[in-house]
Amino acid sequence: MQVQLGFELKLLYFLVMSAVLFGIGVYGVLTRRHLVHVLLSIELILNAALINLVAFSAFTTPEKMTGQMFAVFIIVVAACEVGVGLAIILSVYRKKKTVDISFFLLRPQKGQKCG
């Protein structure tokens, strides 16, 4: 792949950018306590996978559009995931009046009431 200015785009550039996005997304999922932030971090992880698919498709078989077709599929799945995720977050907020993950433990801590 070449741009008009003579700068050659290498697969490594896309892979590094994708790895950085994936790392930020995983860090966000593991450290954030707000459900909306976790949802946005999951979106970063999906976008990192999307960049990998398109980059590998463009560099290995540019005449076939398989990576781009998978990319469109991932975009559709991500849009559905955001819609369902936000609906769940809204229903949890209406019931619990908070979206902090620490309030949604599977087992109650010592001295806490369940629910």
The domain that holds 42 is classified in CATH as: 1.10.287.3510
Q: How confident is the model at residue 112 (pLDDT cuts 50, 70, 90)?
A: low
Q: Within a domain: residue 78?
A: yes
Over residues 14-37, the pLDDT tens digits come to: 999 999 999 999 999 999 888 889
The C-alpha atoms of residue 21 and residue 19 are separated, in whole angstroms, by: 5
Over residues 46-89, the pLDDT tens digits come to: 999 999 988 888 888 878 887 788 888 888 988 888 899 889 88
Contact 38, 26 (CB under 8 A): no
Q: Within a domain: residue 6?
A: no
- Domain span at residue 22? 11-97
Q: Within a domain: residue 111?
A: no
Q: Within a domain: residue 107?
A: no
The total number of structural domains that make up the chain: 1
Q: Within a domain: residue 2?
A: no
The C-alpha atoms of residue 15 and residue 101 are separated, in whole angstroms, by: 32
